[in-house]
Structure 1
Amino acid sequence: MTRQTRSGSGERGAVSLAVTVLAIALIALIGLVHDGGLKVQAMQRADNAAAEAARAAGQHITGNDLLGGIGLDRAAAVAAASSYLKQAGIHGTVAISGDTITVTTQTTEPTVWLSIIGVSSVTGRGQATVRIGEDI
């Protein structure tokens, strides 16, 4: 009587499964690094645009030597900042409250790897302020 044994039959395909799991993990890691970089770029782009738009608005701060004060052409400041954002292709808002001009921006970048799991874009938000005061 000859007896046949199957040695290792329970481990068939174990290497293929391990390689598949590692490949998926590696692709996910690459995706997070690459698309995470896109997120950082979106945030930097939004911050830079907000800062430049705030500078454009700040150029409409006027000194009034006779009265010894500092003023602001509010309409021109908002128009200058809004114009900069429009030319840069950035969505944003410009607000003047008291002695502060605030520019808030938002940009989006399409993802490459994360779109596989349904994340089609990343958003970056930026904000910059210019204070109207004596120390300008």
Structure 2
Amino acid sequence: MTPCTRDDRGQLTLFFAIGVVGLLLVAGLVLDGGAQIRAAQRAQAVAEEAARAGAQAVDVDALMRGRATRLNPHQARMAAHTYLNTSGATGTVTAGVETVSVEVTLSEPTLFLSLIGITELSASGSATARLALEEGTP
């Protein structure tokens, strides 16, 4: 056994601690970044489905009276909001007589990035659905 000429104790522990923190940050970026991508995809899908749900609110009274096919804007907004509420998302809906537009925002909690103060990541999506009419339909 050779005697130490200088005191090396504790140097490996400091290196290990710094390495672990670095690995946790990289894992956080990978896992929480993946969650961010999935949240963005989900926000887009929810926006598209909510817009489709709203675009199904055809004004039946106008059809029965022989008028042009159009949406009932109030019913379209209600249908889109109902879809948003059912899916647990928040967003804004605008509707006219031919289109329904939806913007959705979702928040996802973080796992590892909360260690550095980032507790949640937000994602958004938007979509517009247009009333499809057959050719020759008024």
TM-score range, shorter chain: 0.7 to 0.9
SS of 2:121's equivalent in the other structure is: strand
Counterpart pick for 2:21 among 16, 21, 24: 24
1:17 Cα deviation from its structure 2 partner: 2.5
Q: Is the 8 A contact 1:58 1:77 kept in 2?
A: yes
Q: Trace 1:1-136 onto structure 2 (pairs within 5 A).
A: 7=5, 9=6, 12-61=9-58, 69-96=68-95, 99-132=98-131, 134=133
Give TM-score, length-normalised by structure 1.
0.79
Q: Distance in 1 between matches of 2:9 and 2:96?
A: 70
Q: Please, which moves more after superposition, 35-44 or 54-63?
A: 54-63
1:134 Cα deviation from its structure 2 partner: 4.6
Q: CA-atom RMSD, angstroms? A: 2.7
Which entry has the higher C-alpha Rg, 1 or 2?
1
Count residues in correspondence: 130
Q: Distance in 2 between matches of 1:87 and 1:15?
A: 53
Deviations 1:78-114 (A, max 9, x none): 1110111111111111012574321011111111111
Q: Share of identical aligned residues, percent?
A: 34
Instruction: Name the aligned partner's letter for residue 113 of structure 1.
Output: F
Structure 2 unaligned blocks of 5 or more: none
Give TM-score, length-normalised by structure 2.
0.78
More strand by share: 1
Deviations 1:101-135 (A, max 9, x none): 21011111111111111111111111111124657
Instruction: Name the aligned partner's letter for residue 24 of structure 2.
Output: I
SS of 2:83's equivalent in the other structure is: helix
